[in-house]
Chains A and B, each alone.
Chain A
Amino acid sequence: GQQVMQIPQYQHVQEGEDFTTYCNSSTTLSNIQWYKQRPGGHPVFLIQLVKSGEVKKQKRLTFQFGEAKKNSSLHITATQTTDVGTYFCAGHSTGAQKLVFGQGTRLTINP
Chain B
Amino acid sequence: DAGVTQSPTHLIKTRGQQVTLRCSPKSGHDTVSWYQQALGQGPQFIFQYYEEEERQRGNFPDRFSGHQFPNYSSELNVNALLLGDSALYLCASSLGQVSNQPQHFGDGTRLSIL
Contacts and interface: CB of A to CB of B under 8 A. Distances in A.
B108 to A, nearest CB: 6
Contact of A43 (B40, B56, B100, B105): B105
A92 interface: yes
Contact of B99 (A1, A4, A92, A102): A92
A30 B99 CA distance: 10
A101 B42 contact: yes
B45 A45 contact: no
Contact of A1 (B41, B42, B59): B59
Nearest to B43: A101
Interface string A1-25: 1001010000000000000000000
B100 A103 contact: no
B21 interface: no
A59 B42 CA distance: 25
Nearest to B59: A1
Contacts, number: 59
A interface residue count range (under 10 / 10 to 19 / 20 to 34 / 35 or more): 20 to 34
B44 A42 contact: no
Interface in A55-95: 88, 90, 92, 95
Interface in B49-76: 55-56, 58-59
A21 to B, nearest CB: 12
B105 A42 contact: yes
Contacts of A90: 42-43, 103
Most interface-central of B45, B48, B55 (chain A CB within 10 A): B45
B90 A43 contact: yes
Contact of A48 (B43, B45, B102, B108): B102
Interface of B: 33, 35, 40-45, 48, 55-56, 58-59, 90, 99-100, 102-108
Interface of A: 1, 4, 6, 30-31, 33, 35, 41-45, 48, 50, 88, 90, 92, 95-104
The 5 A-B residue pairs with the shortest CB-CB distance in the complex, in nearest-first order: A101-B42, A97-B56, A42-B105, A45-B102, A97-B99
